[in-house]
Amino acid sequence: MRKHIAVLAFAALMAGVSTSAHAQRSWYVRADVGYSVDGELDTSFEVEDEDVSEARIAPPGPQALTINQAFNFDDDALFSGAIGYNYDNGFRVEAEVARRENDLENTSTEAVAKSLMLNVFYDFNRGGRFQPYIGAGVGYADVDVGDADNSNFAWQAIAGVAAPIGDRLTVDLAYRYFNVDDLSFENGLDADYNQQAVTLGLRYRLGADAPVAPPLPPQQPAEPPVTTAPVACPASEFVVYFEWDRSNLNQAALDVIDQAIARARECNVQGATVVGHTDTSGSAAYNVGLSERRAGVVRDALIARGMNAGAINTQARGETELARATPNGVREPLNRRTAVTISFR
**In this predicted structure, what is the pLDDT of residue 55?**
40
Instruction: Please check whether residue 200 lies inside any domain of the structure.
Output: yes
Q: Residue 274: in which H helix or E strand, if any? A: strand 269-276
Examine the domain organization and report whether 32 and 86 are in the same domain.
yes
Examine the domain organization and report whether 197 and 240 are in the same domain.
no
Percentage of the residues of the chain whose pLDDT score is greater than 90: 52
**In this predicted structure, what is the pLDDT of residue 8?**
46
**In this predicted structure, what is the pLDDT of residue 216?**
59
CATH of the domain at 34: 2.40.160.20
Examine the domain organization and report whether 149 and 272 are in the same domain.
no
Cα separation, 136 vs 156, in Å, equals 6
**In this predicted structure, what is the pLDDT of residue 58?**
43
Examine the domain organization and report whether 201 and 244 are in the same domain.
no
Cα separation, 340 vs 330, in Å, equals 24
Domain range for 293: 236-344
186, 205, 224 - which closes a domain: 205
Low-confidence ranges of the chain (pLDDT < 50): 1-23, 51-58, 61, 210, 229-230
Cα separation, 307 vs 104, in Å, equals 74
Examine the domain organization and report whether 247 and 309 are in the same domain.
yes
**In this predicted structure, what is the pLDDT of residue 38?**
94
Examine the domain organization and report whether 65 and 120 are in the same domain.
yes
CATH of the domain at 248: 3.30.1330.60
Examine the domain organization and report whether 201 and 252 are in the same domain.
no
Instruction: Please check whether residue 190 lies inside any domain of the structure.
Output: yes
Examine the domain organization and report whether 310 and 260 are in the same domain.
yes
Examine the domain organization and report whether 108 and 167 are in the same domain.
yes
**In this predicted structure, what is the pLDDT of residue 225?**
58
Examine the domain organization and report whether 159 and 283 are in the same domain.
no
**In this predicted structure, what is the pLDDT of residue 175?**
97
Instruction: Please check whether residue 266 lies inside any domain of the structure.
Output: yes
Cα separation, 126 vs 132, in Å, equals 9
Instruction: Please check whether residue 228 lies inside any domain of the structure.
Output: no
Domain count, the chain: 2
**In this predicted structure, what is the pLDDT of residue 250?**
87
**In this predicted structure, what is the pLDDT of residue 82?**
97
Residue 60 burial by CB count (10 A; 0-12/13-18/19+): exposed, middle or buried?
A: exposed
Phi, psi for 222 (deg, rounded to 5): -60, 155
pTM: 0.55
Examine the domain organization and report whether 82 and 201 are in the same domain.
yes
**In this predicted structure, what is the pLDDT of residue 223?**
64
pLDDT mean across residues, the chain: 83
Residues whose CB is less than 8 angstroms from the CB of residue 102 and which lie 6 or more positions away in sequence, other chains included:
36, 39, 73, 74, 75, 76, 110, 111, 112, 195
187, 205, 223 - which closes a domain: 205
Q: Can you count the helices (H) and strands (E) in the chain?
A: 4, 13
Instruction: Please check whether residue 58 lies inside any domain of the structure.
Output: yes
Examine the domain organization and report whether 196 and 316 are in the same domain.
no
190, 205, 220 - which closes a domain: 205
Instruction: Please check whether residue 96 lies inside any domain of the structure.
Output: yes
